Amino acid sequence: MSGEYLAFLALALVAIIGGVLMLNLSKVVHMVIALVFTFISIAGLYVLLSAEFVAAVQVLIYSGAITIIMLFGIMLTRHREEDKEKTTTGGFWRKALTAISVFAFGAAVYLGVYQLDFGENAARLHEKNAEQIGTALYSHYIIPFEIISVILLVALVGAIILAKKDDGEAQKK
Amino acid sequence: MNGPYFLSLLVFSPLLGILLLAFTPKTQERTMKWLGFLSTLPSLILSLFAFFQYLRGYRLEHLAEKRDWIRFADFPFLTESTFVVRYELNIDGLSLVMIVLASLLAALAAIASIHIKKEWKGYFMLFLLLEIGMLGVFAAGNMVLFFIFLEVTLVAMFFLIGKWGGFARERAAYSYLLYNGVGSAILLIVIAVLFARAGTSNMELLKEMLHNPAARAQLIAPIPDGLRLSLFIALLIAFGIKLPIVPFHRWILRVHVQAPPAVVMLHAGVLLKIGAYGLIRFGIGLFPDQFRDFSFLIAILGIVNLLYGAFLAFIQDDFKMVLAYSSVSHMGIVLIGLGALNEAGMQGAIFQTVSHGFISALLFLLVGILYERTNTTELDRLGGLAKAMPLTAGSLLAGAMASLGLPGMSGFVSEFTAFFGLFQTAPIVAAIGTLGIIMTAVYLLRAVLNMTFGASKSGAAQALDMSVTEAVPVFVLLALIIMVGVYPRILAEPLQAAIKMMMNGLGA
Amino acid sequence: MMEMAWIVPLFPLFSFFLLLLAGKKMKEASAYVGMLATFVSFLVASAVLADRVGGSTYKAEQVWLAIGSAKLTVGFEVTALNAWMLVIVSLVSFLVHMYAKGYMQGDERFSVFYAYLGLFTFAMLGLVISPNLLQTYMFWELVGLGSFLLIGFYFYKEEAKAAAKKAFIMTRVGDVGFFIGMILLFLQVGSFEYSDIFKAVQDGTLSQPMVTLTAILIFVGAVGKSGQFPLHTWLPDAMEGPTPVSALIHAATMVAAGVYLVAALFPLYEASETALLTVAVVGGFTAIFAASIALVQTDIKRVLAYSTVSQLGYMMLALGSGSDVAAIFHLTTHAFFKALLFLAAGSVIHAVGTQDIEKMGGLWRKMPLTAALFLVGALAISGVPLLSGFFSKDEIFAAAWMHGHGVLFWIAVVASFFTAFYMFRLFFLVFGGEERHGAKDVHESPAVMTLPMLVLAVLSVAAGYIHTPWFGTFLGDWLTDGGYAHEKTPSWMMIVAAIVSLLGIFLAWLMYGKRSLARDWLSSRAPLTYNVLLNKYYIDEFYAWTVGYVANAISRLFYYVDRFVIEGIASLITATVNAAASLGSRMQNGQVQTYGAVTFIGLALLVAILAFTGGYL
Amino acid sequence: MSSVPLSAYLVLALILFCIGLYGALTKRNIVVVLICIELMLNAVNINLVAFAKYGAHPGVAGQIFALFTIAVAAAEAAVGLAVLMALYRNRKTVHIDEIDSMKH
């Protein structure tokens, strides 16, 4: 049992516990907090997978930005009587059916992956990881990279327009 | 004649008319009617030319066309021709006869379309599209192409019924679409299975692969007997809907009654025949063993069709309904001939398809002329037409006589040959079937005499007799009916080779 | 001349087409076209006959249709019988054409009438020269078409419409028997040719039951066409047609086609005792059955029609008794005197304008020539000695007696008595007594009508002498190629026959001429019998109640099956689809998560199936 | 050298994905649904990065794709939240089962 194993097991456990908690907590804010644990442990897993740069981005974007956005979303909407209301939709049957098919899906995919091993190991991935990524990103993947930047811009503008109050509506009020 | 584009030209020549019509202004009624009629002529001329060349000994194999069209898979371990749908047209005696029938009736129906009252542009465009479909079905060299052309007729007919039909036209059109859609779907399944297992949909190749033990090795996957049986039954149902065989016949009643008479000419004259053609081509051509096992059942179905249609036609109040059930009844004779499983029966069945094509076209032509003047085809409201419209009444009577199998007209030859065949294999069944001969006379005379004889009833008294334009197709059809009746060899000889080949397939 | 026999039917066909196309313009001239055509036919037919007398059978044919290995042929054949029939048909047809010019004068569809007559004559001539069963059948049906068209000539009359329809359908019922019999014969023999069939019968290729079966089936066709019981009901109704038509078709020629057919196939019948007996019994029964109906009818043409049925019964009886010669002989004489009677009746109707004999009377003075000619015909049909009917009927009596049909013989004798009685009842009512037809100006018919009657009258008298026990049996010798052995008939038979017919005439004279016997003797004494006879044994009603009812019931049944069962199943299917669709649309609840769940469940199902059926290789 | 096998990462990703999926299909609060979707995207990222190291063709491409996914996820979260705000303003609810105006 090497250290890598131990680290993997711990991180995986935290990630899964975070996910399960997310499903079972009743307050939305708690759910988000539970998920932050998951995100962070996933960042740890990236480190194990020799992807230091991705791990950093993960912490920055997910644990940071997205979580904050979500919290803002929760704060700006009304969540007062949550405790009395049910937190899930649909009847028992639908939930059961969904759960069963999620299990079936999981099992089926599990059958496919549990022995998957290509026997390859990119040993040099951790050496100057950020540099490798940068080189590939600005040479081979330059066009997707530019497109992504456009998408981000569009999302920025779109989000502003969507979230802005309608003029007519504002005047009425 | 030996140009490689002969068949394509024949099939697609109405396309020219569609294009010209597209550029004709909407209001020019006469121009459009002329265009519609003239566009049917090239294929008529070409098909007649081919027919007479064939009678003089020309070999139709020279006309075959073949071009790569869709390639589904390009694996190195498959041969060049596997999983390829080719654009291939070829004809033999049987399809040639059907093509002549189709192009001829199309031209005559175009003349009969002078009674169309509105939107001539769309009408004639769809009409010509329908003709392309019909010609293509008979010229198609593989099943996929056959299916595509079949669907073309389906779409064109749907709109022709739904837009230019009678009061309940929408219902009739949907009825048509639903029944035939189901039939087509079943047919498509059969085609898909065969294509997937054999890697080709060419009829000749399929036939080889299914029967020749040497060619069987080329199959991608084996086609065991059980599968063959199910495919055959599926084919029987698919074409049984088109023909129609009795439990599937309800749609044709609505179409016969609601569609404009000129369209029904083509429908009863040609489209119903696609069912018979398909049964012969695919049913007998591809699955002769299964066909042999089912032949008795098919003969019984034929008798049921014959009698059922006849008895129902006996009590109808509307002449169109009488004719609709008469179509059901007459298609029974086709089945009888096929079920006889011998050359006589086969010949009778094909004769009946052609003969009924002429006769039903004639009768519906006359229905159109009548309806134009009296606005009704109900038997109770018509009477004594022979006084006001002697020509129409006389032709109607002649049509009825041909339909009930009077010697000297085409109906007799087909009826006789079909029964002649069945008496060889199943005399008792055939003897029961002869009851249908009597019933045919009973219901046709009842209907026709009700309309033409007796005292003149209101509405019919002042009607004008048919005009020259209307008379031309009537007399052309009558002449053809009598010609086939008096000199049947003109039909029998082109068919001989095709029938012989099919009989070889059946092992008889 | 014999190789030209095929041309005989073509003249009337030509006349048919010509008149159909140009008849409107030719008007009265149409009559001359028709007359010329039939006259030329008659001349050629006579030449053919003259040729045949010295020569032997001529036959020519060519392939009409090949069905596999079987070759169906058409052609023509000149046998003794055929040549004889050619002459009779063309002669009577010519005379009727001539007569009709007077009778149909002024009818607006004059040319159409002649066109139809031409068609009919063509078909009938074609029928008698056919060398094989198939061709016979084809012309057989065409003859039926001609008959149908002519019966329905006055198409605007409901009765004519019904009669035409009935004639066509009733004969068609018989034709189906013919059709089946013909095909069965072909399947056994391999040919439709008469000669091949006879050969097969002689060889014994044809098994005995098959011979009987096919013979009886074909006889059914003859029953239909010749108006034998039980398919006779159309023939009296057929009198709705113009009278010349009744004379030509429903007396002289077409109805005799059944007799001709059986005679032409006689070797087949001879081979089966059962078939012969059937023919004889049907014939004998029809003879007396129809004669008894004729006793009380009041429509002049109906009386003659039932008389025709009865006489045809005689011919069938003769055939059934094994004497085709007697049948053909009677066919010949009957053609002449029955045509004569019909034409004379037509002349009367033409003059008086009614067909009801109760409204006629005393025409003897107004129309002496017609009356005299009618008398000749009546005497001939009654079997008064020295006229043609006497000899031919005698031949039939002899045949029946010699063949051992004692009962049938006596039935025939009684029928003969009836015949004499009803014919002279007719004669005395129409021509005797005082006038009852009111003020209508009645006068003798024009020469164009009386001339053909005169010719027929001469033939009615003279035709008997071509085949008599006294002067020689020319017809019989010739028809059987000299092999005719006249059976020695007991001499009492002739005397009995003569006495019976004279008795009938005498009784009629007592009742209707001298009136010493009350006319309502039968109706008052046995009203039931009288009514049964008057209503033709209620056969029509019987058919209406059985066949008609059954056909209607089956149709209704099918109608409901079609309407409710089949349509119901179709509706059920559409309803199911509809229900499924509306269920589906209720699932469409707008909740994204439901859609997602359904989609995902479907995916999971597919993935699971793939995984657990080993889809990962 | 014995390291954590590829399948361990894949199974972990699978579990997280399933959790996210179940949540996305059953949770009532739109914010939670969005969060669950983020979780699913994360599961996918794990796969990508794992394949970058242990896949059939290991290389930096997997990590780059993970970065792209993260970028898109960020954009998605922003837009999703904006939509949520707009919705909330109009309907006064964040419950997904009350938003069904797309009904047939």
Q: What is the pLDDT of residues B168-183, one digit of tens each?
A: 888 889 889 989 999 9
The residues spanned by each domain of chain C are: 1-131, 132-517, 542-613
What is the sign, positive or negative, of the torsion defined by CA atoms of C306, C311, C317, C322?
A: negative
Interchain CB distance below 8 Å, A117 and D67: no
Is D1 a residue whose pLDDT tops 50? Answer: no
Q: How confident is the model at residue A38 (pLDDT cuts 50, 70, 90)?
A: very high
pLDDT tens digit sequence for D70-80: 999 999 988 98
A105 vs C591, C597, C604: nearest CB: C604
pLDDT lower than 70: segments of chain C: 1, 435-441, 469-472, 481-489, 517-523, 614-617
Nearest to C330 by CA among C344, C342, C312: C312
Query: How far, in Å, CA of C151 to CA of C149, rounded?
Result: 6
Average pLDDT along chain C: 83
Instruction: Assess if residue B130 is contained within a domain.
Output: no
Interface of D with A in 78-97 (CB under 8 A): 78-79, 81-86, 88-89, 92, 94-97
3-state helix, strand, coil in chain C (%, to 5): 75, 5, 20
Q: Are B302 and B334 in contact (CB under 8 A)?
A: yes
Query: How far, in Å, CA of C566 to CA of C571, rounded?
Result: 9
- Is residue C430 helix, strand or coil? helix
Candidates A49, A69, A156: best to mutate against D (most CBs of D within 10 A) is A49
pLDDT confidence of residue D67: 92
The residue assigned the tokens 């009377």 is: C361
User: How far is it between the farthest Cα atoms of chain A?
Assistant: 68
Is B1 a residue whose pLDDT tops 50? Answer: no
Percent of chain D with pLDDT over 90: 36
Q: Which residues of C528-567 are buried (b: 16+ CB within 10 A; e: fewer)?
A: eebeebbebbebbeebeeeeeeebeebbeebeebbeeebe
The residue assigned the tokens 């997280």 is: D16
User: What's the CA angle centered on A14, arms A8 and A15, to 5 degrees?
Assistant: 85
Q: Are C411 and C498 in contact (CB under 8 A)?
A: no
Q: Are C230 and C289 in contact (CB under 8 A)?
A: no
Q: Tell me the residue ranges of DSSP E strands in C26-179.
A: 58-67, 70-78
Nearest to B135 by CA among B111, B156, B159: B156
Q: Are B483 and B414 in contact (CB under 8 A)?
A: no
Query: How far, in Å, CA of B113 to CA of B264, rounded?
Result: 11
Query: How far, in Å, CA of B115 to CA of A115, rounded?
Result: 76
Q: How confident is the model at residue B237 (pLDDT cuts 50, 70, 90)?
A: very high
- Is residue B140 helix, strand or coil? strand
The residue assigned the tokens 């769940």 is: C597
Percent of chain B with pLDDT over 70: 96
For C196, the token pair is: 């091949």
Query: How far, in Å, CA of D53 to CA of B48, rounded?
Result: 74
Strand partners, C75: C61
> Within B375-426, where are the H helices?
385-388, 390-403, 410-425
Q: Are B464 and B373 in contact (CB under 8 A)?
A: yes
Interchain CB distance below 8 Å, C141 and B412: yes
Query: How far, in Å, CA of C343 to CA of C450, rounded?
Result: 9
The residue assigned the tokens 């999971």 is: C604
Please say whether the structural domain A1-77 has been given the CATH code 2.60.40.1180: no
Is D45 a residue whose pLDDT tops 90? Answer: yes
Nearest-Å Rg of the Cα atoms of chain D is: 17
pLDDT confidence of residue A123: 66
- DSSP letters of C125-152? HHHHT--BHHHHHHHHHHHHHHHHHHHT
Candidates A88, A97, A100, A101: best to mutate against C (most CBs of C within 10 A) is A101
Interface of D with A in 19-58 (CB under 8 A): 19-23, 25-29, 31-32, 34-36, 38-39, 42, 45-46, 49-50, 52-58
pLDDT tens digit sequence for C514-536: 777 666 666 677 777 777 777 77
pLDDT tens digit sequence for B381-394: 887 787 788 888 88
Cα distance from N-terminal residue to C-terminal residue, chain B: 35
- Which residues in chain D have their CB less than 8 angstroms from residue A76's CB? 85, 88
pLDDT confidence of residue A169: 58
pLDDT confidence of residue A86: 65
ipTM of the complex: 0.74
Q: Does B441 touch chain C (CB under 8 A)?
A: yes
Q: How far from chain centre, in Å, is Cα C379?
A: 24
Instruction: Assess if residue D103 is contained within a domain.
Output: no
Instruction: Assess if residue D60 is contained within a domain.
Output: yes
Instruction: Assess if residue D78 is contained within a domain.
Output: yes
Domain count, chain D: 1
Is A170 a residue whose pLDDT tops 60? Answer: no
Instruction: Assess if residue D38 is contained within a domain.
Output: yes
Q: Are B89 and B10 in contact (CB under 8 A)?
A: no
Q: Do chains D and A touch (3 or more CB pairs under 8 A)?
A: yes
The pTM (predicted TM-score) of the whole model is 0.81
Length of chain D: 104
Is B348 a residue whose pLDDT tops 80? Answer: yes
Q: What is the 3-state secondary structure (H, E, C) of B200-259?
A: CCEHHHHHHHHHCCCHHHHCCCCCCHHHHHHHHHHHHHHHHHHCCCHHHCHHHHHHHHHC
Q: Does D70 touch chain A (CB under 8 A)?
A: yes
Strand partners, C132: C193
Query: How far, in Å, CA of B109 to CA of B368, rounded?
Result: 10
Q: How far from chain centre, in Å, is Cα D37?
A: 4
Q: How many CA atoms lie within 13 A of C102 on its CB side?
A: 22
- Is residue C73 helix, strand or coil? strand
Interface of C with A in 587-606 (CB under 8 A): 591, 593-594, 597, 600-601, 603-605
Helix (H) or strand (E) holding B67: strand B65-71
pLDDT tens digit sequence for B6-64: 888 889 999 999 999 888 888 888 888 888 899 999 999 999 999 988 888 888 888 88
Domain count, chain B: 1
Average pLDDT along chain B: 87
Q: How confident is the model at residue B216 (pLDDT cuts 50, 70, 90)?
A: confident
pLDDT tens digit sequence for C325-377: 888 888 888 888 888 888 888 888 888 777 877 777 777 777 888 888 888 88
- Which residues in chain A have their CB less than 8 angstroms from residue C612's CB? 108, 111
Interchain CB distance below 8 Å, D79 and A115: no
pLDDT confidence of residue A122: 64
Q: Do chains B and C touch (3 or more CB pairs under 8 A)?
A: yes
What are phi and psi for residue B84, nearest 5 degrees? -120, 130
* Dihedral-angle region of residue C424 (phi above 0 means left; psi in -120 to 50 means alpha; beta otherwise): alpha
The residues spanned by each domain of chain A are: 1-77, 130-164
- Provide the CATH number for the domain around residue D86: 1.10.287.3510
Query: How far, in Å, CA of B139 to CA of B99, rounded?
Result: 8
Candidates A68, A88, A131: best to mutate against D (most CBs of D within 10 A) is A88
Write the single-letter amino acid at C386. Answer: L
For residue B436, the enclosing domain spans 287-508
